[in-house]
Amino acid sequence: MTTADIKCKGSFWLIYEIPWVIAYFVIYNESDQVCGDTMRKYAQFAQWSFLAQFLLIFVSIPINYRVIRRSEIDGGSRLKPLVNVLGVLFFLLLIATWVYACVALAKRDDCPHDSLVKLVWATVLTPASLVLCCCSCCALIYSTGFNVFKRDRSIGGHFGEARYSGNKDVMSQLNRMQKNLESQLRASNQKPQRLDSKV
């Protein structure tokens, strides 16, 4: 992992978490007394869970930087296990929040507060759509690469061999020209010199 990877992933997750933190803190305060037990408890859990996820990402970014810098200098860092623990905690909270949101949606009839129900729907559908989008992109890249590989194999030989087959033709023509020159030199009683001996 490089520092660019950390910037990219850290920025993505921070931007992903901020709207959820704000939305759950605002909407929970409005719906605290209105909704049933399951939805209310989920909203309370979600606001603190998203805040904890945000803080875990915020704390792990500088620690990741330090780990990478130390590994570049002396090949390792004692903070690496801490980075792994923070990552596991983050994804456990993310999955637990998503599963709890699915359970809360099953009891959405107890909550007349429409904004909270829509927020829980968004909490369930957003990660699912992101995963679906990533899987579709990976499948598209894989199938495109596989088609290129199949096309090269059908033209002949190993992957990419058909593209560079023109180089073999040039080499064979150069060899023929060298042999012709050598034979002409022999015919004129001069000592033959190989072209590649000068190189």
Q: What is the pTM of this model?
A: 0.64
User: Could you report the per-residue pLDDT of 88-99, keeping only the tens digit for each?
Assistant: 999 999 999 999
- For the residues of 109-171, what is the DSSP string, one character each? GG---HHHHHHHHHHHHHHHHHHHHHHHHHHHHHHHHHHHHHHHHHHSSSTTTTTTHHHHHHH
pLDDT (average), residues 168-176: 80
Q: Is 124 exposed, middle or buried (0-12, 13-18, 19+ CB in 10 A)?
A: middle
pLDDT digit string (tens) for 119-148? Answer: 889 999 998 898 899 899 888 888 777 665
| Crossing angle between the packed helical segments 3-31 and 37-74, to the nearest 10 degrees | 160
- Quick one: tokens of 147? 């088609």
pLDDT tens track for 50-77: 999 999 999 988 888 888 887 777 766 7
Q: What is the spatial distance between Cα 25 and Cα 47, in angstroms, rounded to a whole number?
A: 6
33 has pLDDT over 70: no
Q: Model confidence over 2-30: pLDDT tens digits?
A: 777 777 788 888 888 899 999 988 888 77
- Give the pLDDT of residue 49: 93
| Distance in angstroms (rounded) separating the CA atoms of residues 39 and 24 | 12
